[in-house]
Structure 1
Amino acid sequence: MAKKVVIYTFETCPFCKRAKRLLNNKGIDFKEIEISDDDAKLDELEQQTGCSTVPQIFVNDKFIGGCDDIIQLYKDGKFDEVFK
């Protein structure tokens, strides 16, 4: 069964675009929730994850991290294990 991947983004964020590109290139289906104008949602995410930046990426409702985190998973050969 496919894992549920959700990514919270800002419209103009280059790190968000890079993370989405990696997910797309690896064939990962994901739901994008764009929160550029939603300070309350970003505050809520920060309370939940301890992270105040985007992207914020979740797999099956578990916080995985941001762009640098998933790139590191890819470099370490652990990307498929987490996302597939």
Structure 2
Amino acid sequence: MSTDTSDSVDVVVYATRFCPYCMRARSLLTRKGVAFREILVGSADGVSWSELSQLSGRDTVPQIYIGTHHVGGYDDMAALERAGELDQLLRTGVI
């Protein structure tokens, strides 16, 4: 099911360029037609690893936020997709 991005909430993905789970997260969101903002972790134009840890309580990537909801990583987002809850979260920001 494709999500109409005109009705969707902000999606932010904290990621690194070559992390396989980051690539999977980008791919899933792209397949669903979801526009997202990517913030690179550990780069000069992104955030530091300590900032990510303070923000999410985790020190792994990706860390995915849909609206104000902290989804977690790719596995967490994929579980929402399998449960049929991801599209609603993308549309409304709540499950």
TM-score for the superposition, normalised by structure 1: 0.87
Runs of 4 or more, structure 1, over 6 Å off, are: none
How many residue pairs align between the two structures?
A: 84
Counterpart for residue 26 of structure 1: 32
The alignment yields a C-alpha RMSD, in angstroms, of 1.8
- Work out which of the residue numbers 41, 49, 52 in structure 1 matches 2:48: 41
Q: Distance in 2 between matches of 1:66 and 1:48?
A: 14
Counterpart for residue 71 of structure 1: 78
**Is contact 2:41–2:52 with CA below 8 Å preserved after alignment?**
no
Counterpart for residue 9 of structure 1: 15
Counterpart for residue 87 of structure 2: 80
Q: Distance in 2 between matches of 1:22 and 1:36?
A: 23
**Consecutive unaligned residues in structure 1, runs of 5 or more:** none
CA offsets per residue over residues 47-75 of structure 1, 9 Å max, x none?
22211100011112331111000000011
- Over the matched positions of the two proteins, sequence identity in percent amounts to 37
TM-score for the superposition, normalised by structure 2: 0.78
- Work out which of the residue numbers 47, 51, 61 in structure 2 matches 1:54: 61
**Is contact 2:21–2:61 with CA below 8 Å preserved after alignment?**
yes
Counterpart for residue 3 of structure 2: none
**Consecutive unaligned residues in structure 2, runs of 5 or more:** 1-6
How far apart are 1:8 and its partner, in Å?
A: 0.8
Bigger drift between 29-38 and 71-80 goes to: 29-38
